[in-house]
Structure 1
Amino acid sequence: MSPVSPLRFSVAPMMDWTDRHCRFFHRLLTRRAALFTEMVTAPAVIHGDRDRLLGFSPEEHPVVCQLGGSDPRQLAEAARIVEGFGYDQIDLNCGCPSDRVQSGRFGACLMAEPDLVAECVDAMRGAVSLPVSVKCRIGIDDAEPTVMLPGFVEKVAAAGVASLTIHARKAWLQGLSPKENRSVPPLDYDLVFAIKAAHPTLPIALNGGIGDLDRAEALLAPRDGVRLDGVMLGRAAYDTPALLAAVDRRIFGEAVADPDPFEVVERMEPYVAAHLAEPGAKLGQVTRHMLGLFAGRPGARTWRRILTVKSIESGAGLEVLREALDAVRRPVAERAAS
């Protein structure tokens, strides 16, 4: 394993989405992108089912565990447990705006407590040898981002944070849903570049509003002499995972062929079979992450329909995945024969 910071390209942590099945699937599309877990709270790590919460496949590396919490001692203990599971990096969530997160005093509301965040970072760094990073917003509520963000970054940088991922939108903690918080507040990329200019040695990645690799490449290019260290994609990478197939070539400059989506599905079969052998396992727990793989291709709608409808049926197995794949292969074969 090698440290993944700075994060040149990563797939964002997304609750209920970036679980271990999703990450294994994404890893078949890109070897180099950093993959984040869903956020898991420090108390859950300490007191909960650790294998269920933290278990992952060795193929997922480089993989980052995102923790939620605000108690330095709890976070330090959780960080030690996470390190024991073999993760490459630990990230502290200071960006999620949901009510549930706020009630636990973590997520975006922590941007109002930079001294506490710095204390948390320092405690985790003292407990593990892994890099400790932070994901945050540019600000919250009525606070002025050009004041809040620089002050926040100064504190966490002084605490020795390994890298920052900045979601370039303000988070409104009251009055907007988490979904609205992904699109309603305006993006401010200029502020993120300004922060990088002020902290040239601190690895900084940008998140928010990046819908494709063209946009990602543009944001990785120098702007007035300032170059960001990375970009993070969320929904775009999840909804259209095929874009990940070009990441190693376009973002990391590797002289490799993009993975073929048909071969990716075939390579998923042993993983799916192993999952289905576990007690209580269901096909849909894996295939729900694969729905967008053929977006824009002939047969994509049938692929989605078969997986959506048949994967949740009792006893659904690999035959459903193969049927859905044949539905996409058929138009390709017909076009080649014409």
Structure 2
Amino acid sequence: MNACHPRHPPEGTPSVRVATPHARALRLSVAPMMDWTDSQCRVFHRLLAPDALLYTEMVHANAVIHGDRRRLLAMDPVEHPVALQLGGSEPALLAEAACIAAAHGFDEVNLNCGCPSDRVQAGRFGACLMREPALVAECVAAMRAALAADGHAVPVTVKCRLGVDDDSEYARFRAFVDAVAAAGATQVIVHARNAWLKGLSPKENREVPPLRYDWAYRLKQERADLTVLLNGGIADEATALAHLDHVDGVMLGRAAYHDPHLLHRLDCALSGRAPQPRGALLAALRPYVEAQLAAGVALKHIVRHVLGLFHGQPGGRQFRQVLSEGAHRPGADWALVERALQATEAAARSVPA
């Protein structure tokens, strides 16, 4: 069976399309985050950052092939450019999943070689793949060949760490990157920490291993033709912009989720657009929210992604409180969002000048 012709045609598959060019989007992207970067989240982030590249949550290749694609590959047209991140280590399955992703309109296919969770390790994918560069290269080559055979101009990329456990040799990291680049990966996203496979939780793995941005900088210097994006510990606008003196792009993770206006300000700084007030950005989301409500989506599934919009601002706590307490109730609609905004503005007015 040709990997690009899945045994079950994708439900609701749009007509085959050439990937949306996203060279500008490489300067800024939002990391794939499990349980967070679903379609509703990405629509909100697209409103905040028109030029950013967005990523799905990681989806295992087997799930793409055999699972509920309508749910797993849900995507609103406004999200473009958007990449599907795949998990897995079997070249044939990844190739089939990549073609399904392209048929559904995704603009990039990204292979996860950075997640350190026990579940991921048990399935022989994620960060443990950094110990198997030849296998990762085989996976990348299989995806590239299958996509090309099916006429899809969709890039294949890799997201990785600096190494695993106590790896401390830059040469080993560069050899991994060289292997996947030689196999056809058009860019590498470097989470500039090691992944500790034993002894640290996934949360600790995002915070405890030291950041070594200099490895990503050096990689770009030595491999000028490779697109290098930097991820990890980027929590403010000035830091993100400074990194862009050394690499092709920056990827925000939890900072973009917990403080969405940071994502907006950074996108504006890169594009030259004037930042918009938080209330105006929220109002611009209303047509989408009401369309989702009309389609039967509960308000709680949408507004959970906007809770941090007033992060660090007077009234931010009130905004989160009103939405958190009311969004799960039957019949909750846009009026609740309006009440949250009113509570926020009232709290802000009460703060002494």
**Which TM class, normalised by the smaller chain length?**
over 0.9
Give 1:334 deviation, angstroms: 6.9
SS at match of 2:161: strand
Matched, 1:39 2:58: yes
Q: Give distance in 1, aligned partners of 2:110 and 2:22.
A: 12
TM-score, normalised via structure 1 length: 0.93
Matched, 1:186 2:210: yes
Matched, 1:321 2:352: no
Q: 2:150 maps to what in 1? A: none
Q: Give distance in 2, aligned partners of 1:99 and 1:314.
A: 37
Q: 2:75 maps to what in 1? A: 56
Give 1:44 deviation, angstroms: 0.3
Matched, 1:308 2:324: yes
Q: Give distance in 2, aligned partners of 1:335 and 1:112.
A: 54
Conserved? CA contact 1:299–1:328, under 8 Å:
yes
Q: 1:263 maps to what in 2? A: 280
Q: Render the CA deviation track for 1:65-117: whole Å, top value 9, x for unaligned.
A: 10111011100100111001111111000000011111111100100000010
SS at match of 1:35: strand
1:96 to 115, 139, 151: 115
Which residue identity is paired with 1:197? Q
2:232 to 208, 217, 221: 208
Q: Give distance in 2, aligned partners of 1:4 and 1:236.
A: 22
Conserved? CA contact 2:113–2:158, under 8 Å:
yes
Q: Give distance in 2, aligned partners of 1:296 and 1:184.
A: 25
Give 1:246 deviation, angstroms: 1.6
Gaps of 5+ in 1: 222-226
Give 1:330 deviation, angstroms: 2.9
Give 1:249 deviation, angstroms: 2.6
Which residue identity is paired with 2:171? V
Conserved? CA contact 1:145–1:170, under 8 Å:
no
Q: 2:5 maps to what in 1? A: none
1:1-338 matches, cutoff 5 A = 2-5=20-23, 7-128=26-147, 129-221=153-245, 227-250=246-269, 252=270, 254-279=271-296, 281-331=297-347
Give 1:189 deviation, angstroms: 0.8
Conserved? CA contact 1:20–1:56, under 8 Å:
yes
Conserved? CA contact 2:28–2:267, under 8 Å:
no
Which residue identity is paired with 1:115? A
Moved over 4 A (4+): 331-336
Q: Give distance in 2, aligned partners of 1:12 and 1:296.
A: 22
TM-score, normalised via structure 2 length: 0.89
Conserved? CA contact 2:34–2:58, under 8 Å:
yes
Q: Give distance in 2, aligned partners of 1:205 and 1:13.
A: 14
RMSD: 1.7
Q: Give distance in 2, aligned partners of 1:160 and 1:77.
A: 17
Give 1:260 deviation, angstroms: 2.6
**Greater alpha carbon shift after TM alignment, 114-123 vs 254-263:** 254-263
